[in-house]
Amino acid sequence: MSEYSTLSVTQEGGVAVIELNRPDKANALNMAMWEEIGLAFRRADQESTVRVVVLRGAGKHFCSGIDLMDFASVMTGKEKCDGRRREELRRLILKLQGCLSAIEECRKPVLAALHGGCIGGGVDMVASCDMRYISAEGYLQIKEIDIGMTADVGTLQRLPHIIGDGVMRELAYTGRKVDAEEARAIGLVNRVYESPEALMAGVMETAQVIAGKSPLAIRGTKEMIKYTRDHSVADSLNYVATWNAAMLISEDIQEAMMAQMQKREPKFRD
Amino acid sequence: MSEYSTLSVTQEGGVAVIELNRPDKANALNMAMWEEIGLAFRRADQESTVRVVVLRGAGKHFCSGIDLMDFASVMTGKEKCDGRRREELRRLILKLQGCLSAIEECRKPVLAALHGGCIGGGVDMVASCDMRYISAEGYLQIKEIDIGMTADVGTLQRLPHIIGDGVMRELAYTGRKVDAEEARAIGLVNRVYESPEALMAGVMETAQVIAGKSPLAIRGTKEMIKYTRDHSVADSLNYVATWNAAMLISEDIQEAMMAQMQKREPKFRD
Amino acid sequence: MSEYSTLSVTQEGGVAVIELNRPDKANALNMAMWEEIGLAFRRADQESTVRVVVLRGAGKHFCSGIDLMDFASVMTGKEKCDGRRREELRRLILKLQGCLSAIEECRKPVLAALHGGCIGGGVDMVASCDMRYISAEGYLQIKEIDIGMTADVGTLQRLPHIIGDGVMRELAYTGRKVDAEEARAIGLVNRVYESPEALMAGVMETAQVIAGKSPLAIRGTKEMIKYTRDHSVADSLNYVATWNAAMLISEDIQEAMMAQMQKREPKFRD
Amino acid sequence: MSEYSTLSVTQEGGVAVIELNRPDKANALNMAMWEEIGLAFRRADQESTVRVVVLRGAGKHFCSGIDLMDFASVMTGKEKCDGRRREELRRLILKLQGCLSAIEECRKPVLAALHGGCIGGGVDMVASCDMRYISAEGYLQIKEIDIGMTADVGTLQRLPHIIGDGVMRELAYTGRKVDAEEARAIGLVNRVYESPEALMAGVMETAQVIAGKSPLAIRGTKEMIKYTRDHSVADSLNYVATWNAAMLISEDIQEAMMAQMQKREPKFRD
Amino acid sequence: MSEYSTLSVTQEGGVAVIELNRPDKANALNMAMWEEIGLAFRRADQESTVRVVVLRGAGKHFCSGIDLMDFASVMTGKEKCDGRRREELRRLILKLQGCLSAIEECRKPVLAALHGGCIGGGVDMVASCDMRYISAEGYLQIKEIDIGMTADVGTLQRLPHIIGDGVMRELAYTGRKVDAEEARAIGLVNRVYESPEALMAGVMETAQVIAGKSPLAIRGTKEMIKYTRDHSVADSLNYVATWNAAMLISEDIQEAMMAQMQKREPKFRD
Amino acid sequence: MSEYSTLSVTQEGGVAVIELNRPDKANALNMAMWEEIGLAFRRADQESTVRVVVLRGAGKHFCSGIDLMDFASVMTGKEKCDGRRREELRRLILKLQGCLSAIEECRKPVLAALHGGCIGGGVDMVASCDMRYISAEGYLQIKEIDIGMTADVGTLQRLPHIIGDGVMRELAYTGRKVDAEEARAIGLVNRVYESPEALMAGVMETAQVIAGKSPLAIRGTKEMIKYTRDHSVADSLNYVATWNAAMLISEDIQEAMMAQMQKREPKFRD
């Protein structure tokens, strides 16, 4: 895509494919890529023909994490007042978090397809996705500990909801690799495919299945799962009742019922 | 039971067995069944001889989900004002949620014994139970997505606490079947039995074990696990300390200690 | 250690080993042990040369739970007013909780090495640790239900974050044993070692790996995982951004980057 | 009303008047009155012709608080097990709370008209109302402290949202009287009327004004103010957006706009 | 300002003055004004020379509320599917809320200077400001109830933190006018000035006082007050400790201490 | 008292009087005073003969705030690593907060008697008290803004629960003085006495009244008001029900009832 310098974005039917595209840098996250990820997912949210997003990486690795050269230059500001410098740093971190939160705030499901390494900032990124799939040679690594930093763009906040607390801590403290099979066993990915090709084929197939469902119901479902993570069950039940008071009566539920009676596949408008 | 039109309720020792009993409709949830479930679990909560509840389905399937004919007729109200109609719809959903929440609010443990299909509203129902067991041929399916609706009576709110976030989303977005073995692997059920008969025998055995424990301690334990799901650890620790200030000193703890010294089984009053 | 009557505390490099040391009582928790655990972990938190803590038990078992004789004498106060007696009981429970919470509040990772039985109060204790490892013959048991009490010092509050909700309830209601392999499968422990010796060697190795990381980054990581358990993702992201505004710029991140460029192992100050 | 033994319920236009009616006992709260209050407000919630409720007391006082004779007999249960007895007591308190919470859960605004004394449980009751008005000779008193109990049916939970924290504590610790003028100054009541007659006339006038507004908008407004008290501003904004997605488009908003253009008073359907 | 069609923005020293500038429409909120308010406050947040913002209205009134003609045209979308239409409506409300939340998210204090009427959406707007001041002839009115709607852009969410619960409800249910003196008595405004001219002079004076304080400390103070409104005291204390770990050591605290020793006024950099 | 260097502690009947006692420094808070405040209130909490605490200042002023000389020396640590230095600073702030939180955690009511100035840290201190009283010449001042810092030991966290949001912000941003009469009008103090002598007499009288009430009921009342500030009404109602299940049945309620029947003053045991 001419409009992005670090991403390549394509669309197949209702499925947008957002590809990290700095293969010579193993898709390391530089400032341009952070910003373009935020932008691309906000667009995917707005564009009504997009019903599902697949996130993958070009080249040998999904993502090698933050680009340290780039990061060092960003962190070295000119501000001499210690307090103001820290306020700037805090706002920079909030900004980077916001780029990844755009994945979570995108109303359409996001499927991450991992091959090769998914390291450091790459793990923060996929923790924002709805589901993760991996090819057999792939691995993940919460690498921040090895550059002497407390991970601050999502891994420590979102991963504990995906994998168990005990394993979470071991991975975060040791920074060790998690191979594909272990990733599946602990729930970090949903499935292991035998090769990157099989991975992409499999993920696209699942994505197309989801793209065939009612977009309104899919968006509501994503909203509810996200809401429930951060609220009590009682609050979540009240919220979905109010939500469906607004959204339940729709073309889609009629079409679904009609299709069921006519024993055909339903077709939903974007 | 003569008093219910859609359920059959029996009791063996301290174990009440509540059976969905519309086998010719694959135990589809019609309005009568919703209400009777609420009623039956509120009674089980009140009736002191009941210490544990087993929930199962008559016929070939545990539950085929909401009865669409019934649902359609309920949803078609006479109200012409759009706002009032939506308010009615919201209150209807809250009412249905309340019927299933009665399972959770019942102070006694509820064990769901699943065979055949457990579909749509059936999954919402078993997500309100304490534990789930299944027979080898059984399966579960978050089916709401296929009728174009965002599930709104408990699955999306309670299941993320039982299974991992990544698998949760795949099941909710695709509506695919989860067979018995996968259900066990992801923590959706605790154990797979080889047949419906073995399932019922096994579940009743576990239920009787629990029925033999101190009812006061069991009720406190259920309350604490439920409370902790929706509160911080600090709040939960304070709550249990206050709870036990009231409930710890009891006949049951004396009987348990006495039995231990006398090397016999304790016997607890209802 | 001469200073403790129920514990033995040693240190290897940056790793403190806190050993429950009442082997003739199977390390049952009496009042002295409760208090010394609180004390030892507060010291480990303060002592800057300690970077990681390993918790283990001397003798045949890790811990057989609360010392019932001791507990009975504590519970029998002289207070005759029923209200004041309950207030005292509540404060006693809060005090015992505080002893175990010292493990969680210790800023350094705590690895529990379990062999033999880990029973009742022992499970509450290890639920406060960061990670748990076990030897093949070991087992855990939420035993409180068998003395007619609702567990009140941490198991019911912390374990649901570590294992799935469905299994959690079965274990708490039935009080049944969980052997090493099941414990690993449900995420209660991270790994099974073939023998107590292999366990201690393996745990010490992991502990030394963590002790080699940046202490500042490790402490931040523990704080974030703990914080996120009890707060929303949005609040947690804001907190880590503010935290790193203060803590990110440090000797450690410079040393880590330098070491990476010089292709050597980094060395971090305590 | 023949159907209540302790209340008298009448209706003027859209305004239901619920009157505490044990004037010879200064409207002391006995068990029958607790239950009938719950019942009467649940009916007011259901009955669509009721748009506003006024709560007042017959005789010389609004309410003299809990009926101690009645309370003593309720508290003296037959249960001999200390734990079970406490569980029963807890459930009794929850039940009494539920009777007053029915006032808060009633979707229609409730205006309390206070004259004479409003004491103890009477304060808990009016703390559940939307607004409070008083006549010049009236007074309130958080009297529970004088019978040696921690108030447990709403005053300590709801009043701090109505009056400032500092005054709240003084009133709760000392149990002193608050006269009409002080009550107004601290926000405990909205207005002081010179006599009980002026009070009733004034309150009915305000009630009729509210009864003339859109019932749908009034119900939404009450829901939002209640929700916001217990949730963050961000959550509350999201909730009202979802609520109005369902409820905004209505006959009422059309009628209101039409009336405005036609320069006439709007008339809303129940 | 040429860049805004509905606002006029000027700056005096460190004080930006944002003026609603549709005097012929009594500053009614049309879509352009909603968006420009969001834009203007985001700019004020970014622009480091701005330390305080004053918000006022041109002409006879501060703000007459939402522009009904404009609103009607926005609400009448082309979408025919009822569910999609409601989703659009929800997103529109969220967008309007976001425009006013920009006032709250602006890190610099915002002082509202009210004269004439402040009605409907105008009240939502000033509820997002830090402080409110009024001239003697001014008044406020929660007018939404009179167009048959539940107010949904901030009044019901933020005002209960500013005025007492009881008065809040009366104003929201009746939609009656609150004159300047009553507004002061209930805490809705901080002070009453005798005329619009005195109001502007007084507000500018207070604004200049604040603009002379340390910008870093002012921003931290605003953040803390906002945070504490939505979090527990314990969480808020922890947050400010972490915040000040980053921001306390600064040029400003040194300058303040130096000035104090030298008995001169401190001068702080933007 | 010989045991404190900065406080003087005496007791009259059930009322402990804790006096800030550095009159020559206008009771400025140095490190010793911070620590002794924590200590003195923890002792008051433990000592059963103490039922109420009065906090006052010796000399001309209640408290002139933090001792800047002392603070400067504390803040200048030897730590050279920027990250470790900030971690130390955060822990220092948490420690100071803890000293004042001891006032809030003391189970007995604390009445602050203010005369002369109550400035900066003094305001944080009295915000932790239950009630505040002042003499006519006294004043308060949130002075932190003038030394270029965001107040971090309680004022910004606790005061918004005591006074309205709008006035709160003005006081925190401008640092202006609040005289006795304004303090009363905004709810910051409960009452103004004409002189320091009248103040002490009046506060001691109120303290003695409270000291005559049931200590158990008073402690429960303080716990509930504190709890409700940080939790939802629903959670708070559940908590008090559980609390009273433990604490309601007591000598005190019997004595209170007996005294009422015998028409005499009740006498409660410590």
Give the pLDDT confidence of B138-157 residue by residue, as tens digits.
999 999 999 999 999 999 99
Task: List all chains that touch chain C, counting a touch as 3 or more CB pairs closer than 8 Å.
Answer: A, B, E, F
Q: DSSP letters of A14-54?
A: TEEEEEE--GGGTT-B-HHHHHHHHHHHHHHHH-TT--EEE
CB B219 within 8 A of CB B108: yes
Q: What is the pLDDT of residue D32?
A: 96
* Percent of chain D with pLDDT strictly greater than 70: 99
CB D14 within 8 A of CB D51: yes
Q: What is the pLDDT of residue D70?
A: 81
**Is the per-residue pLDDT at B63 higher than 80?**
yes
Q: Which residues of E touch D255 (CB under 8 A)?
A: 148
Token look-up 């006294």 returns F138
**Is the per-residue pLDDT at F60 higher than 60?**
yes
* Beta-carbon separation of C247 and E243 below 8 A: no
Q: Write the CA distances from B106 to B37, B102, B145, integer angstroms.
A: 11, 6, 29
Cα-flanking dihedrals φ and ψ of residue C29, to 5°? -80, 105
Q: Which residues of F touch E161 (CB under 8 A)?
A: 160, 165
Q: What is the pLDDT of residue A222?
A: 98
Instruction: Write the residue in B189, B225, B242 that is nearest to C90 by C-beta.
Output: B242
Using a CB–CB cutoff of 8 Å, tell me whether E82 touches chain A: yes
* Beta-carbon separation of B190 and C167 below 8 A: yes
d(CA C162, CA C153): 16
- Residue A158 or A67, more confident: A158
From chain D residues 178-217, the ones with a CB under 8 A of any chain E CB are 187-190, 206, 209-210, 213-214, 216-217
* Beta-carbon separation of D148 and F266 below 8 A: yes
d(CA D41, CA D46): 9
Name the closest residue on chain B to residue C168, using Cα atoms. B225
| CA nearest neighbour of F123 among F77, F177, F79 | F177
Model pLDDT for residues B80-108, shown as the tens digit of each residue: 999 999 999 999 999 999 999 999 999 99
* Percent of chain B with pLDDT strictly greater than 70: 99
Q: What is the pLDDT of residue E227?
A: 98
d(CA D130, CA F130): 27
Instruction: Report how many Cβ contacts below 8 Å link chain A to chain E.
Output: 58
Interface test mutation site (partner D, options E68, E92, E103, E150, max chain D beta carbons within 10 A):
E150
Using a CB–CB cutoff of 8 Å, tell me whether F240 touches chain B: no
Catalytic site residue from D19, D36, D67, D124: D124
Query: What mean pLDDT value characterizes chain A?
Result: 96
Query: What mean pLDDT value characterizes chain C?
Result: 96
Q: DSSP letters of D80-109?
A: -SHHHHHHHHHHHHHHHHHHHHHHHHSSS-
Q: What is the pLDDT of residue D77?
A: 72
Q: What is the pLDDT of residue F2?
A: 54
Model pLDDT for residues C35-47, shown as the tens digit of each residue: 999 999 999 999 9
* Beta-carbon separation of A216 and B148 below 8 A: yes
Mean pLDDT of A121-128: 98
d(CA B33, CA D196): 51
Q: How many residues does chain C have?
A: 270
CATH of E7-211, one of 3.30.70.80, 1.10.760.10, 3.40.50.1980, 3.90.226.10: 3.90.226.10
pLDDT band (50, 70, 90) for residue D68: confident
pLDDT band (50, 70, 90) for residue F1: very low
Q: To the nearest whole angstrom, how far is the Cα of A217 from the nearest Cα of chain E?
A: 10
Q: Which residues of B touch F239 (CB under 8 A)?
A: 239, 242
Instruction: Write the residue in B231, B235, B246 that is nearest to F245 by C-beta.
Output: B246
Instruction: Write the residue in A231, A235, A242 that is nearest to D246 by C-beta.
Output: A242
Model pLDDT for residues F226-261, shown as the tens digit of each residue: 999 999 999 999 999 999 999 999 999 999 999 988
Domain A7-211 and domain A215-261, same fold? Reply is: no
* Beta-carbon separation of E147 and D246 below 8 A: no
- Residue E80 or B70, more confident: E80
**Is the per-residue pLDDT at A1 higher than 50?**
no
**Is the per-residue pLDDT at B74 higher than 80?**
no
**Is the per-residue pLDDT at E1 higher than 70?**
no
Using a CB–CB cutoff of 8 Å, tell me whether C74 touches chain A: no
Q: CA geometry: angle at E245 spanning E240 and E250, to 5°? A: 110
Q: Which residues of B touch A260 (CB under 8 A)?
A: 68, 147
H/E segment holding residue B145? none
Instruction: Write the residue in E94, E150, E154 that is nearest to D221 by C-beta.
Output: E150
Task: List all chains that touch chain F, counting a touch as 3 or more CB pairs closer than 8 Å.
Answer: B, C, D, E
Q: What is the pLDDT of residue E2?
A: 54
Query: What mean pLDDT value characterizes chain B?
Result: 96
Using a CB–CB cutoff of 8 Å, tell me whether B235 touches chain F: yes
* Beta-carbon separation of A173 and C130 below 8 A: yes
Model pLDDT for residues B207-245, shown as the tens digit of each residue: 999 999 999 999 999 999 999 999 999 999 999 999 999
Using a CB–CB cutoff of 8 Å, tell me whether E242 touches chain C: yes
Using a CB–CB cutoff of 8 Å, tell me whether E247 touches chain C: yes
Token representation of residue A81:
């007042």
Catalytic site residue from B105, B152, B182, B223: B152
Q: What is the pLDDT of residue B1?
A: 44
Token look-up 């410098």 returns A85
Least confident of A203-212, D2-11, E38-47: D2-11
DSSP state of B270: -
Using a CB–CB cutoff of 8 Å, tell me whether A159 touches chain B: no
How crowded is residue B262: how many other Cβ atoms within 10 Å of its Cβ? 9
**Is the per-residue pLDDT at C1 higher than 50?**
no
* Percent of chain D with pLDDT strictly greater than 90: 93
Model pLDDT for residues D213-261, shown as the tens digit of each residue: 999 999 999 999 999 999 999 999 999 999 999 999 999 999 999 998 8
- Pairing mode, if any, of strands F177-179 and F117-119? unpaired
Q: Residues of F with catalytic annotation?
A: 66, 121, 124, 144, 152
CB-count burial class (<10 Å; 0-12, 13-18, 19+) for E46: exposed
Longest dimension (CA), chain F: 71
* CATH class of the domain defined by E215-261: mainly alpha
Q: To the nearest whole angstrom, how far is the Cα of F154 from the nearest Cα of chain E?
A: 7
Interface test mutation site (partner B, options D250, D254, D257, max chain B beta carbons within 10 A):
D250
Active site residue E152: yes
Model pLDDT for residues E25-66, shown as the tens digit of each residue: 999 999 999 999 999 999 999 999 999 999 999 999 999 999
Active site residue E146: no
d(CA F19, CA F57): 5
Query: What mean pLDDT value characterizes chain E?
Result: 96
Mean pLDDT of A159-183: 97
- Show the beta-strand stretches assigned E in chain E: 7-12, 15-20, 52-57, 110-114, 117-119, 131-135, 139-141, 177-179, 191-193
Token look-up 């501000």 returns A79
**Is the per-residue pLDDT at A200 higher than 50?**
yes
Using a CB–CB cutoff of 8 Å, tell me whether E91 touches chain A: no
Model pLDDT for residues F166-178, shown as the tens digit of each residue: 999 999 999 999 9
Q: Which residues of A touch D242 (CB under 8 A)?
A: 239, 242-243, 246
Mean pLDDT of C203-230: 98
Token representation of residue E43:
């700019």
Buried b (16+ CB within 10 A) or exposed e, C196-206: beebbebbbeb
Q: Which residues of E touch F160 (CB under 8 A)?
A: 161, 225, 228-229
Model pLDDT for residues A19-30, shown as the tens digit of each residue: 999 999 999 999
Catalytic site residue from B57, B121, B138, B154: B121
| CA nearest neighbour of B198 among B133, B247, B108, B267 | B133
Using a CB–CB cutoff of 8 Å, tell me whether F248 touches chain D: yes
* Beta-carbon separation of B210 and C173 below 8 A: yes
Sheet holding A177-179, edge to edge: A117-119, A139-141, A177-179
H/E segment holding residue C193? strand C191-193
| CA nearest neighbour of D135 among D185, D190, D187, D186 | D190
* Beta-carbon separation of A157 and C236 below 8 A: yes
pLDDT band (50, 70, 90) for residue A2: low
* Percent of chain A with pLDDT strictly greater than 70: 99
Active site residue D66: yes
Instruction: Write the residue in A89, A216, A248 that is nearest to E84 by C-beta.
Output: A216
Q: Which residues lie across from D114 on neighbouring strands?
A: D134
**Is the per-residue pLDDT at C2 higher than 60?**
no
| CA nearest neighbour of F198 among F182, F216, F171, F180 | F180
| Per-domain boundaries in chain A | 7-211, 215-261
Active site residue D146: no
Q: Which residues of B touch F245 (CB under 8 A)?
A: 246-247
* Percent of chain C with pLDDT strictly greater than 70: 99
* Beta-carbon separation of E225 and F86 below 8 A: no
